[in-house]
Amino acid sequence: MASLPWPLCVPVLTDGTVTLRAHTPDDVAPMTEMATDPTTARWTSVPSPYPPEAGEDFALRHVPAQWDAGGDRGWAIETVDDHGRPRFAGNLDLRGSTVADLGFVLHPWARGRGCMRAAVELALDWAFTEAGTEAVHWRAEVGNVASLRVAHAAGFRLVATVPALLLQRDRVVDAWTGVRLFGDPPTARTRWAAPPVVLTDRVRLRPLAQTDLPRVVEACSDDVTHHWLSHLPRPYTVAAARAYLDDTAWRAATGAACTWALADRSSDLLLGTVAVVDLAGWDRTAGEVTYLMHPDARGRGLLREALPAVVDHAFSPQGLDRRRLTAGAAAGNRASIAVLEAAGFARCGRATAAEPVGDGTFDDVVELELMR
């Protein structure tokens, strides 16, 4: 049992800008606003509808009861707004003692300020040094990139994507998972392989976005695409495209791949994708270049125009800092091989009957490489 009643049993934790404290009646109104925000509703299991009585019950009855029982710990997050005034910013929970689960949510006004990263560090530092916690687990529905960024920055070991791990509003969903152990440094364990925006004469290389999904579906439903990339699901659905976008975020966070949308410089319409993958393989100084073009973008020299910028970023010490790049293409895909050779790649081998293609046969794979 806690030695002091709530709220006296709640430690006030602060770094001078962000504070974790006990909830007060003044938090109920902004907490209700937070709970009814569409982003909160999308990524959490907060009940909907969420009347003020629900916020009052959670903040002033449920959370105090957990503290008084010496079990789960929940704080209100407070930080300063643009006018320098302290303001309710969200909730943070540690569920469990020796092994705990981390949960957090921010009010819309507080997002994008880095305050959740600070709040998580305050809570974990207290848990590890004062509460006897040995491990803290983080879980988020696949696609919740904002939560992934917090876990990455806070030093969680990003472990895996686990199927059917969470129940969100009567939906069983896959989850990204991570863990931080007592003694782990509070800094990112991997470099987030974020693709920089690069402009060429006709092309904008940028991160992929949800608005690109219809064009991804079109590109991956094309017969030519399916011939050379026979592993793609068919039919290729919006769900498959969304899973692809989610996977690019996870692989960026784990330092495994850097993926660009190749878009029209004027309209920003998606023309294709290009990536440097296998960054976290056995050779951490190498990478493999892959790409895919939308049917209406082929034959216009757009990939040939964009690929040198990707290579420059891959080789740059300020970029991916690779010493060697590889690529492979089916021997019959002469257009793909020509693009690679135009970017400076040289043929270095040939694997016999190594590539399954769309007609059920196997083509040779031409292997190419480029050294820094």
> 83-112: per-residue pLDDT in tens?
999 999 999 999 999 999 999 999 999 999
Own/partner pairs, 110-116, CB within 8 angstroms, 24+ separation: 110/77, 110/79, 111/146, 113/79, 115/17, 115/18, 115/77, 115/79, 115/89, 115/90, 116/77, 116/90, 116/92, 116/150
The CATH class, in words, for 13-181 is alpha beta
- Can you read off the two tokens belonging to residue 119? 């709040």
Confirm whether 13-181 and 198-371 share one CATH topology.
yes
Domain ranges of the chain: 13-181, 198-371
**What is the share, in percent, of the chain residues with pLDDT greater than 70?**
99
Q: Which residues of 320-331 are buried (b: 16+ CB within 10 A; e: fewer)?
A: bbbeebbbbbbb
Per the CB < 8 A criterion, the answer to whether 277 and 298 are in contact is no
5 CA to centre of own chain: 39
CATH number of 198-371: 3.40.630.30
Find, among 363, 226, 343, 331, the residue nearest to 289 by Cα: 343
Please state, in angstroms and rounded to a whole number, the distance separating the CA atoms of residues 245 and 208.
7
Q: How far apart are CA 145 and CA 176, in angstroms?
A: 10
Would you say residue 71 has pLDDT above 80?
no
Sign of CA dihedral 238, 288, 310, 271: negative
Task: Please measure the distance between the N-terminal and C-terminal CA atoms of the chain and give it in whole angstroms.
Answer: 62
Q: Which residues pair with residue 21 across a beta bridge?
A: 76
Could you read off the pLDDT of 326-359 as tens digits, one per residue?
999 999 999 999 999 999 999 999 999 999 999 9
- Let me know: does 286 contact 278? Beta carbons within 8 Å: yes
Residue 1: band (very low, low, confident or very high) from pLDDT cuts 50, 70, 90: very low
pLDDT digits (tens, 9 = 90+) for 7-66: 999 999 999 999 999 999 999 999 999 999 999 999 999 888 899 999 999 999 999 999
pLDDT at 232 over 90: yes
Pairing of strands 324-330, 286-293: parallel
Structure tokens at 285: 């100084």
> What whole-number distance in Å separates Cα of residue 94 and Cα of residue 79?
19
Burial class, 210, CB count within 10 angstroms (exposed 0-12 / middle 13-18 / buried 19+): exposed
Report the chain's C-alpha Rg in angstroms: 24
Q: Can you give the pLDDT at residue 340?
A: 98
Coil, strand or helix at 53 = helix
The 3-state DSSP class for residue 66 equals helix
Question: What pLDDT, on a 0 to 100 scale, did the predictor assign at position 3?
Answer: 72
pTM: 0.94
Cα angle 152, 22, 59 (rounded to 5 degrees) comes to 90
d(CA 272, CA 203): 10
Long-range contact set of residues 216-221: C-beta below 8 Å, sequence gap at least 24? 216/241, 216/244, 216/245, 216/270, 216/273, 217/241, 218/294, 218/295, 219/270, 219/272, 219/273, 219/292, 219/293, 219/294, 219/295, 220/292
Query: pLDDT digit string (tens) for 195-213?
Result: 999 999 999 999 999 999 9
Mean pLDDT of 135-142: 98
Place of tokens 């493999």: 288
